[in-house]
């Protein structure tokens, strides 16, 4: 599988992004593992919306590989996601690349989206 990922990702610029949540929210993910899917979806949506806003494109496809980990280096429960993402959008067969990226802007967008999704019934 690693060879397949390298084959796909190698010719394109990409970024490694790590998404984390505050310690206070970790207990919810520990008790309800289905929230992991919500965590992944919130991260993907935050990245997509950030790209669309910065590139000023209302439509376009983006891609990435998102991998959720539930433990930190000390084997403590620490749900977080590592993502290998394309820094741009594909629209009408053309790749529109974003040269600079603000980790803070993406993090704020992610946290806002995740907290909003958690409040929905």
C-beta of residue 118 within 8 angstroms of C-beta of residue 76: no
User: Pairing state of beta strands 88-91 and 64-71?
Assistant: unpaired
Round to whole Å and give the CA distance between 26 and 54. Answer: 30
Please say if the pLDDT value at position 4 is more than 70.
no
What local confidence, expressed as pLDDT, does residue 52 receive? 93
The ranges assigned to domains in the chain are 2-119
pLDDT band at 8 (very low <50, low <70, confident <90, very high): low
Query: Whole-prediction pTM value?
Result: 0.79
Please say if the pLDDT value at position 109 is more than 60.
yes
């Amino acid at each position: 599988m690693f060879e397949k990922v390298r084959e796909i990702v190698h010719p394109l610029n990409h970024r490694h992004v790590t998404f984390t949540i505050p310690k206070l929210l970790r207990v919810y993910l520990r008790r309800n593992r289905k929230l992991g899917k919500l965590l992944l979806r919130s991260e993907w949506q935050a990245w997509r919306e950030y790209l669309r806003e910065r590139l000023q494109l209302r439509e376009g496809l983006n891609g990435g590989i998102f991998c959720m980990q539930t433990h930190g280096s000390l084997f403590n429960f620490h749900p977080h996601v590592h993502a290998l993402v394309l820094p741009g959008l594909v629209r009408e067969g053309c790749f529109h690349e974003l040269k600079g990226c603000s980790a803070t802007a993406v993090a704020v967008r992610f946290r806002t989206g995740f907290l909003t999704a958690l409040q929905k019934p």
